Structure 1
Amino acid sequence: MKKAIVLITLFVLPIVIYLFFATGITNFGKLATLTENVSELDFAPNDISLEGKISVLGFLGKDVESKKGNAFNLNQKIYKRFNEFEDFQFVMIMPKGTEQGVEELKKELEQLADVEKWKFVFGTENEIHAMFNSLKTNLRLDNQLGTPYVFIIDKKRVLRGRDDDEDDGIKYGFDTSSVADLNNKMEDDVKIILAEYRMALKKNNADRIK
């Protein structure tokens, strides 16, 4: 009897605890809805849109060289872990005139990962400001039309984030210059939103079978 209790304690109990917490995250973890009706990318090529995709939206600005470190952080900490999810994409809004800098950035990123789901959209200053303002955050673009922050947009063009963050209160975006922010917060939030859609897909498939 004692051996059985010891075996249960050592092997079975940890598995039960893990399943409990894993189920809890899947069933109850959900990102807050912060801004609805984020603008669509009307100035983008026809094959790039926010509708129907889970998007990481960013604004790298005119000085692409100065934002390479941010892009590499994002690529290594988030993109490489989740880019196999079918409807997941990274969309970077760029000022017109940065095309050459973007091509150089893509070549460097290609050495680290497949960049198929990195999408770069070029717009005018007015288009970029209008797009950013539609997020309705407490953040601002700098004078180069850039920001180190990226944002999670769901398939219905809703900005998702945290409304009870321990540091920021309402957390609209994630600082790509901070590996800690990407590791400790953004990674978790991306996991949650992908889990939301996996569960919804499973439910829809189950409903069709009934």
Structure 2
Amino acid sequence: MKKFLVLGVLFILPIVAYLFFASGIHNFAKLPIIEKDIPELNFTNEVKLQDKITVLGFLGTTIERDGGDLFNLNQKIFKSFREFNDFQFVYLVPEGIDDAELKSVLDEMSLLTDLSNWYFIKTTQENINNTFESLNSSYTLSQDGGSPYIFIIDKDRSLRGRDDDEDYGVLYGYDSSDIAELANKMKDDVKIILAEYRLALKKNNADRKN
């Protein structure tokens, strides 16, 4: 009996250890840089990308569709990380949007969470197009001038995502209409980039003390 127990430990333990580390390898890696030098939002003084971790979105004028996506993001992503002061949500909004519809959606969301780190920047479609194209993603804007895809921009204005995604190969952004993708991919990736900056901050503080 003891012999079989020893053999079991020798054979099974390495397999269990491998599966553990293989499943967690993405969590301990830095989130890949997909595109560098994303242009600053120079058409507004309300918010900037530099020195912030930004979830960047493109709302479009179809509020009845995009409103559900905003609620998905709030529930699956923002509420989990809202305590981080450097973490913000920025949506570019076409000038032709129905302000009353947008206000109605935001009023409902404000009942569920603090929206002080959410920014909805109304601007021209040209500015929206230029910003979207600067991401060099594989996606295109919808006819209403928006997109269900949202993007993680780091403090140096680099687009972060996955370069080894099991479904897409390169994952530029996350489909905000897909709750599973938000919960299983984006939430994990936001954790990674926030941990990355927290570790860097701790290292800088330790270096100053030394």
For the aligned pair, the TM-score class normalised by the smaller chain equals 0.7 to 0.9
Match of 1:134 in 2: 134
Q: What are the residue-to-residue correspondences of 1:2-81 with 2, within 5 Å?
A: 28-44=28-44, 46-81=45-80
RMSD: 2.0
Secondary structure at 1:71's aligned position in 2? Answer: helix
Q: What are the residue-to-residue correspondences of 1:171-210 with 2, within 5 Å?
A: 171-210=171-210
TM-score, L = length of structure 2: 0.86
Match of 1:11 in 2: none
Residue type of the alignment partner of 2:94: P
Match of 2:162 in 1: 162
Once residues 28 and 184 of structure 2 are traced to their aligned partners in structure 1, the CA distance between those partners, rounded to angstroms, is 19
Identity across the alignment (%) = 53
User: Deviation digits for residues 103-143 of structure 1, max 9, x if unmatched?
Assistant: 22210110111111111011111111001001010000011
From the superposition, tell whether residues 26 and 139 of structure 1 become closer, same or farther in structure 2 (CA, over 3 Å): closer
From the superposition, tell whether residues 182 and 94 of structure 1 become closer, same or farther in structure 2 (CA, over 3 Å): same
- Native 8 Å contact 2:53 2:153 kept in 1: yes
Residue type of the alignment partner of 1:196: E
Once residues 73 and 94 of structure 2 are traced to their aligned partners in structure 1, the CA distance between those partners, rounded to angstroms, is 20
Query: Per-residue deviation at 1:47?
Result: 3.4
Query: Per-residue deviation at 1:26?
Result: 9.5
TM-score, L = length of structure 1: 0.86
Query: Per-residue deviation at 1:62?
Result: 1.1
Once residues 63 and 36 of structure 1 are traced to their aligned partners in structure 2, the CA distance between those partners, rounded to angstroms, is 30
Once residues 197 and 34 of structure 2 are traced to their aligned partners in structure 1, the CA distance between those partners, rounded to angstroms, is 18
Q: What are the residue-to-residue correspondences of 1:84-163 with 2, within 5 Å?
A: 84-98=83-97, 99-163=99-163
From the superposition, tell whether residues 25 and 88 of structure 1 become closer, same or farther in structure 2 (CA, over 3 Å): farther
Once residues 177 and 29 of structure 1 are traced to their aligned partners in structure 2, the CA distance between those partners, rounded to angstroms, is 27
Once residues 100 and 36 of structure 1 are traced to their aligned partners in structure 2, the CA distance between those partners, rounded to angstroms, is 36
Match of 1:7 in 2: none
- Native 8 Å contact 1:58 1:151 kept in 2: yes
Once residues 25 and 158 of structure 1 are traced to their aligned partners in structure 2, the CA distance between those partners, rounded to angstroms, is 22
Length, aligned pairs only? 191
Deviates more, 1:159-168 or 1:30-39: 30-39
- Native 8 Å contact 2:31 2:189 kept in 1: yes
Once residues 174 and 80 of structure 1 are traced to their aligned partners in structure 2, the CA distance between those partners, rounded to angstroms, is 17
Once residues 27 and 149 of structure 2 are traced to their aligned partners in structure 1, the CA distance between those partners, rounded to angstroms, is 28
Once residues 100 and 131 of structure 2 are traced to their aligned partners in structure 1, the CA distance between those partners, rounded to angstroms, is 22
